[in-house]
Amino acid sequence: MQLFWTFLKIGLFSIGGGYAIIPLIQEQVVHQQGWLSEKVFADIITISQMTPGPIAVNTSTFVGMQINGVLGAVVATIGCILGGCVISISLYQFFQQHQESIYVAAALKSLKASSVGLIMSAGFTILLLTFFGTSELSSGLLAHFDWQSALLFGVALVILRKFKPNPIVLMCLAGFIGFLIY
């Protein structure tokens, strides 16, 4: 039950997604509940980046698993996604129902525009990570330029723009090339 509440809270307060919410999870799971040590938490973040699925979901699964086995994992994960699902559905319904209102329409348009900007910044962060192996902006950045990854990225982007292939096939292909070159 404690697991469920903690992850419901994490889910509810993690606006922005991705890497931004790591400190929040850390605060709850490591400092407040003491379920994991700093070391194990750092490992989980590494694992979460390596396995599919959103980081919050992965962390909740992992923590739940460590504490209470499969049941714990399921409970923690459901807690984690419940708030977001309910809120996003209600918010979407609200926008649908009030489409005629010019103010609601304006609000939705502004959200669309700024969320494109935010997806752009997520793209920028992962671009830095791909090109330089770090997402921190610093002066020594260029020294770590990884031309192989940059090339792979460039080729993948050109293929995407030109041929619109199946993204999953392209990802498998890129994984295979990674296996060959790194």
Partner 1 sequence: MTKLKLYSWLAGINLFISAFTFGGGYVVVPMIRKYYVEKKALFTNDELMEMAAVAQSSPGAIAINLSVLAGKKVAGMLGVLISAICSIIPPLVILGLISNWYAAFAANQTIMAILKGMQACVTALIIDIVIDMYQLIREERSSLLNALVPLAFIANVFFNLNVIYILFISIGICLVHTYAQQRKEV
Q: Looking at residues 31 to 90 of the shown chain, list those that interact with partner 1 (rule: CB under 8 A).
A: 43-44, 46-47, 49-58, 61-62, 65-66, 70, 73-74, 77-78, 80-81, 83-85, 87-89
Q: x/- site string to partner 1, residues 105 to 124, per CB under 8 A? A: -xxxxxxxxxxxxxxxxxxx
**In the structure encoding, which two tokens stand for residue 32, read together?**
């407040």
Contact between 179 and partner 1 by CB under 8 A: the answer reads yes
Contact between 166 and partner 1 by CB under 8 A: the answer reads yes
CB burial class (10 A; 0-12, 13-18, 19+) of residue 24? middle
Q: What share of the chain is helix, strand, coil (3-state, %, to 5)?
A: 85, 0, 15
Chain Cα centroid distance, residue 10: 14
CB nearer to partner 1: pick between 103 and 142: 103
Closest CA to 53 of 66, 44, 40: 44
**In the structure encoding, which two tokens stand for residue 14, read together?**
């993690």
Contact between 7 and partner 1 by CB under 8 A: the answer reads no
Residues 145-164 that bind partner 1 (CB under 8 A): 149, 152-154, 156-157, 160-161, 164
Contact between 13 and partner 1 by CB under 8 A: the answer reads yes
CB of 34 to partner 1, least distance (A): 19
